[in-house]
Chains A and B, each alone.
Chain A
């Protein structure tokens, strides 16, 4: 069975640009969460979507947005990129709104 998949695996952008990251959850999972992990830190919660609605938002600026599609895949969008947005972006899915989450391999974003 396929796990959580994310694309692209690596991305290089310059300051001020916009980026879209994509995530496909495990088949049958209806919840997708996004996390940002900077070097030396644990993952920081950005968003949770369940049944295509936002169910939770972490302490991130409005430059960060996300959505979930009818097939439960999800996109994370970041506008006006800053150097500090350079990080590993992780997507996690779970069957229900609550419960253990299964992570994808992440997208490594570098902002120059």
Chain B
């Protein structure tokens, strides 16, 4: 049973525009969420996190939004750059212990 879902397998965005990656979860006990970026032949790289006591967290060009009532989170990248092209995974956990990952969204930023 997939507790974390990323329903868009791929996304293409023009350089300089906003990229919005979405993630839905089913377990209402999840209280800590992460986004990772993964390049081919490398392990996932931590991007940004958010705990359930917040609804927004910002780090430079990356902002994560959490909507607990909808069990939905999103990652916004503004402005998008070609180097952002990678597979993005969202992950959720209860108290930051065991993480459940989505299936990933492949982002392509077109120069």
Q: Is the interface of A mostly helix, strand, loop or mixed?
A: loop
> Is A42 within 8 A of B104, CB to CB?
yes
Q: Is the CB of B43 within 8 A of A90?
A: yes
Contact at A48–B43, with CB atoms within 8 Å?
Answer: no
Q: A42-B103, A102-B46, A105-B43 are in contact. Are A56 and B97 (CB under 8 A)?
A: yes
B residues near A102, Cβ cutoff 8 Å = 46
Residue of A nearest to B6 (CB): A42
Given contacts A42-B4, A42-B103, A43-B89, contact A55 B97 (CB under 8 A): yes
In the bound complex, do residue B42 and residue A100 qualify as a contact, i.e. CB atoms below 8 Å apart? no
Cβ-defined contact, A56 with B43, below 8 A: no
Decide if B62 is an interface residue (CB 8 Å cutoff).
no
B70 CB-CB contact with A under 8 Å: no
A45 touches B100 (CB 8 A): yes
Are A45 and B43 in touch, CB under 8 angstroms? no
The bracket for how many chain B residues form the interface is 20 to 34
Query: How distant is B2 from chain A, measured CB to nearest CB, in Å?
Result: 9
With contacts A90-B43, A106-B43 known, is A44 near B98, CB below 8 A? Answer: no
Which residues of chain B are near A97, meaning CB under 8 Å? 97
Residues in B whose Cβ lies below 8 Å from that of A101: 34, 46, 99
Q: Are B97 and A90 in contact (CB under 8 A)?
A: no
Residues A98 and B42 in contact, CB atoms below 8 Å apart:
no
Q: How far is the CA of A44 from the CA of B98 in the complex (A)?
A: 10
| Neighbouring A residues of B104 by C-beta, 8 Å | 41-42
Q: Which 8 A-B pairs have the closest CB atoms?
A: A42-B101, A103-B43, A98-B96, A56-B98, A103-B44, A43-B101, A105-B43, A99-B96
Chain B contacts to A: CB under 8 angstroms: 4, 6, 32, 34, 36, 41-46, 49, 89, 91, 95-104
- The 21 listed contacts between A and B (C-beta, < 8 Å) are A33-B98, A42-B4, A42-B101, A42-B103, A42-B104, A43-B89, A43-B91, A43-B99, A44-B101, A45-B99, A92-B43, A100-B34, A100-B49, A101-B46, A102-B46, A103-B43, A103-B44, A103-B46, A105-B41, A105-B42, A106-B42
